[in-house]
Structure 1
Amino acid sequence: MSRLVDADRLSAELEGASPPRLLDVRWRLNEPEGRPAYVGGHLPGAVYVDLERELARPGRPEEGRFPLPDPADLEAAARRWGLWRGDRVVVYDDNDGVAAARAWWLLRGHGIDVRVLDGGFRGWLHAGYPLARGDHAPPAGDVVLAGPGPAVATIQDAALAPRTGVLVDVRAPQHYRGQVGGLDPGAGHIPGAINIPTVTHIAPDGRLHEPARIRAALAARGVTAETAVVLYCNNGIASAHSALAFAVAGIGVRVYPGSWSQWSRSPGRPIATGATPAEAISAV
């Protein structure tokens, strides 16, 4: 299954006999409710997906901010979105694919043929294609989620990842170094992690860089297709986007969904600060 589709190709597919289903996954940390923007204008036929309520579940603080949804709940949500068995799906957002990648990662792990709109909402507008207004609530589908789910790493897997492969922190450098705090307690990174920010893989127009460029950037940090890779971020969202970029480059990974929001709330876990994997160590 391909992982990306551009606006021109998607427009042509939507005119075909068996068009893909569209999911609008607009979400930002500072604007978690994307429905108002969706209602104001979205790709024709797209259904709004609530990231925090449908692509995550309520959890205890020590689980991290956005625990993965139960498979049965995710399947029920997918049916509400109007997905049927055998449907092809395209997901998009208006934030360089970061939120859409969470949907891609979850659905692909359960056997759904899903792609991310490369360039997202901005790319669709730039290509000159039309929008629809209002809400779109299709008839419920009958999709069945199968497969083992996405490849995940536990908190202990993340702790051991630097010994068995590579642990990649995909946050901005100032968060990795512990120079800037966020919504979670403590500042810094998991000891042994290297920093390859998600934005490394994104071109100025919001599209992913070409696979060869992503592979070269990763190889320069010692990451190849043979490397065992675990990714984490603040809350398990941006790391799914890096998982998409790595997949486009032909590199499989596991994502640690609890990420820093879980690690920093786990008493006794070490915290590293500084520009290197283990420059200065303290404890949660």
Structure 2
Amino acid sequence: MRPLIDAAEAAALAGAVRLDVRWTLGGPSREADHLAGHLPGAVRLDLDRDVCGPVGTVGGRHPLPEPEALQAVLQAAGIDDDSTVLVYDDGDGLAASRTWWTLRWAGIEDVLVLRGGIKAWTSAGLPLATGPESPEPGTVTVRPGRLPVLDADEAAAWAKERELVDVRAPERYRGETEPLDPVAGHIPGAANLFLGEDDLADAERLRERLAPHPDAAYYCGSGVTAARAALAVTAAGMPTPPVYIGSWSDWVARGREVATGEER
């Protein structure tokens, strides 16, 4: 299921750059958790500060980063153009998937996600390190645009002409609740297929769920869960799909048409 690997595979991966991207939506920085215990050699990156760009009027709650800013972050983490990068979070795959997606979008070819995150590592009896890490600077060059990205107009067209899949919880898709954005509902014409962390654990289950959606593009609330869906599709052996990275938070910020309820 590459790019998803288990703890034993990760431990045997010689020379990989390890990135600790543990993250809590709307919560404090996880820097203290990193200092208290992380995979040996792992460099701390913050999803909001380092992996995504600054939030503006449009672009969503987790916009694309500026290439120059991302390049500086990745070089400081010790990444070269030919590096193998191992990314992990707490285990739900959200921050790790969005980091995986961003690095692949930036042109880094060999990016892997630790299935089960740091919990899987410690459950396997593998050691942790404490304190800060100071890697030698890397020389990576960010080459943006290496994965397919949709903007709002392209997402609307995809919903009409192909299949646009909303991977948020069904109640958010239907517009019954919206805990994060000012407007509830979904993009007109979009289908709903909730993909959770359990779907990352079973390749056969993934293939069965995704087989009816061979030409789908994906979105969520702010491009984080949609990145996890893109990882799931890739892990199932299918081409990495387009992602509307601004997702619902960008859509409603632009005042676009909103649908509620189930699509026919």
Q: TM-score range by the shorter chain?
A: over 0.9
**Alignment of 1:138 onto 2:135:** yes
Residue 214 of structure 1 aligns to a residue in which SS?
A: helix
Alpha-carbon deviation of 1:101? 0.7
What value does the CA root-mean-square deviation take over the aligned residues? 1.7
Q: Give the aligned partner of residue 12 of structure 1.
A: 12
Q: Deviations over 1:253-274 (max 9, x none)?
A: 111111111111222x211111
Contact kept, 8 Å, 1:28 with 1:95, in 2: the verdict is no
Task: Report how many aligned residue pairs link the two structures.
Answer: 262
Residue 80 of structure 2 aligns to a residue in which SS?
A: coil
Q: Give the aligned partner of residue 277 of structure 1.
A: 263
Q: Give the aligned partner of residue 180 of structure 1.
A: 177
Of residues 224, 233, 238, the one that matches 2:220 is 233
Q: Give the aligned partner of residue 260 of structure 1.
A: 248
Alpha-carbon deviation of 1:193? 1.1
Contact kept, 8 Å, 2:81 with 2:108, in 1: the verdict is no
**Alignment of 1:25 onto 2:21:** yes
- The ranges of structure 1 where at least 4 consecutive aligned residues each deviate by more than 3 angstroms after the TM superposition are none
Cα separation, partners in 2 of 1:147 and 1:71, compared to 1, 3 Å: closer
Q: Give the aligned partner of residue 58 of structure 2.
A: 62
Cα separation, partners in 2 of 1:138 and 1:176, compared to 1, 3 Å: same
Matched-pair identity in % = 42
Alpha-carbon deviation of 1:250? 2.6
TM-score (norm 2): 0.93
Alpha-carbon distance in structure 2 between the residues aligned to 1:83 and 1:70: 17
Contact kept, 8 Å, 1:112 with 1:145, in 2: the verdict is no
In structure 2, stretches of 5+ residues that fail to align are: none
Contact kept, 8 Å, 1:43 with 1:132, in 2: the verdict is yes
Q: Deviations over 1:26-53 (max 9, x none)?
A: 1121325121211111111100011111
Alpha-carbon deviation of 1:69? 0.6
TM-score (norm 1): 0.87
Contact kept, 8 Å, 1:232 with 1:256, in 2: the verdict is yes
Alpha-carbon distance in structure 2 between the residues aligned to 1:34 and 1:140: 23
Q: Give the aligned partner of residue 282 of structure 1.
A: none
Residue 111 of structure 2 aligns to a residue in which SS?
A: strand
Alpha-carbon deviation of 1:147? 6.1
Q: Give the aligned partner of residue 96 of structure 2.
A: 100
Q: Deviations over 1:140-183 (max 9, x none)?
A: 11122336332100101111112221111111111111111222
Cα separation, partners in 2 of 1:82 and 1:47, compared to 1, 3 Å: same
Contact kept, 8 Å, 1:169 with 1:232, in 2: the verdict is yes
